[in-house]
Amino acid sequence: MPELPEVETVARGLAQRVAGDIINSVWIGRKPEPLKSPARKIAALLEGSRIANVRRVGKHIVVDLEEDGQKPRGQWIVHLGMTGNLVLTSPDQQVPKHTHLIAQLASGRELRFVDPRRFGRLSVHRAESAFKAPGSEPLDVDFESFARLFRGRKTPIKSALLNQRLLSGVGNIYADEALFRAGVRPRRRAAKVTREELRRLYEALRKVLSEAIAAGGSSISNYVDADGEEGLFQFDHRVYGREGEPCLSCRSPIKRVVIAGRSAHYCAHCQR
DNA sequence: AGGTTGACCTGGACGC
DNA sequence: TGCGTCCAGGTCAACC
């Protein structure tokens, strides 16, 4: 579920509420799938740490941890996968099914990682080897660097947008939405997209992502933010999930095709 | 080397 | 109600 705007929303919400709090103890479920680091390493780094900050890198939530004297201690990295969420609750809230980790905070609250499909991943990094995402942040990268990412790539432009080693944080919804707004068909070979089209794509992607962040994430389903509240938001999907419905510009039906195993939505009339 | 496919999971929506 | 099928916002390893 969560792409860049959703992860940003969760991270911001948590940063506001838990920065400065201390993790007293950690419970980790028995199913090992969501853990990239061993459970005892995760627990060891988290327990006794103060949460300095919570932020987003690509689709990852980075929890910066520090010692008492503000000395950096390491990072707790949370990837939400398709269905994961990191929720701040009071301990008397019922623990939902598929809760894989609970961090008890000194303030008396709990930070819980819940993920039914278990595609999410948890890991820890020591302070010496800080986490780094391989791709460029779409909201930070300049146009020349953005354009360079696609040079010589025969893969469909849609697949290139989703490639996290190129761009960090773009997922299926916002890739489709950006391509629609730029007027570029998802199956076009990345290398063949003209400079002018890339310029439109660059602007469209930034616009779509920042609008979605401003709206607090996507409206597509039961997405909830760090408080466990439904995102109020209404970000308009113009193509995603609108197969067969009329294009909002030209009324021709939105098409859905599969590209590299992911569904892609576009308007055959407006996108070339 | 670089691109595409299946596997990994659970659950909700839909058709019969 | 129940069962089967399809679909899902992500990412890898394995394949060509």
pLDDT tens-place string over residues A122-165:
999 998 888 988 899 999 999 999 999 999 999 999 999 999 99
Instruction: Output the pLDDT for position A232.
Output: 46
User: Is A134 labeled as catalytic in the residue annotation?
Assistant: no
Residue A169: helix, strand or coil by DSSP?
coil
Instruction: Output the pLDDT for position A187.
Output: 95
Helix H or strand E segment including A126: strand A121-126
Instruction: Output the pLDDT for position A236.
Output: 79
Give the closest residue to A47 by CA, choosing from A25, A67, A65.
Answer: A25
CA of A118 to C1' of C12 (A): 14
User: Is A59 labeled as catalytic in the residue annotation?
Assistant: yes
Residue A129: helix, strand or coil by DSSP?
coil
Task: Protein contacts on strand C: list nucleotides below 7 Å from a Cβ.
Answer: 7-12
Strand C–CB A1 distance below 7 A: yes
List strand C contacts in A 19-78 (CB < 7 A).
58-59
* Token output for A171: 């997922």
CA of A261 to C1' of B7 (A): 12
Evaluate the CA torsion angle A104, A124, A165, A82 in order and state its sign. negative
Position A238 pLDDT exceeds 80: yes
Confidence class for position A1, pLDDT limits 50, 70, 90? low
- pTM assigned to the model: 0.94
Compute the distance between CA of residue A46 and CA of residue A55 in angstroms, rounded to an integer.
Answer: 16
* pLDDT tens sequence across A109-131: 999 999 999 999 999 999 888 89
Q: Is there a contact between A81 and A191 (Cβ–Cβ < 8 Å)? A: no
Amino acid letter at A186?
Answer: P
Catalytic option among A41, A109, A118, A262: A262
Compute the distance between CA of residue A162 and CA of residue A153 in angstroms, rounded to an integer.
Answer: 13
Q: Is there a contact between A37 and A111 (Cβ–Cβ < 8 Å)? A: no
Compute the distance between CA of residue A143 and CA of residue A182 in angstroms, rounded to an integer.
Answer: 15
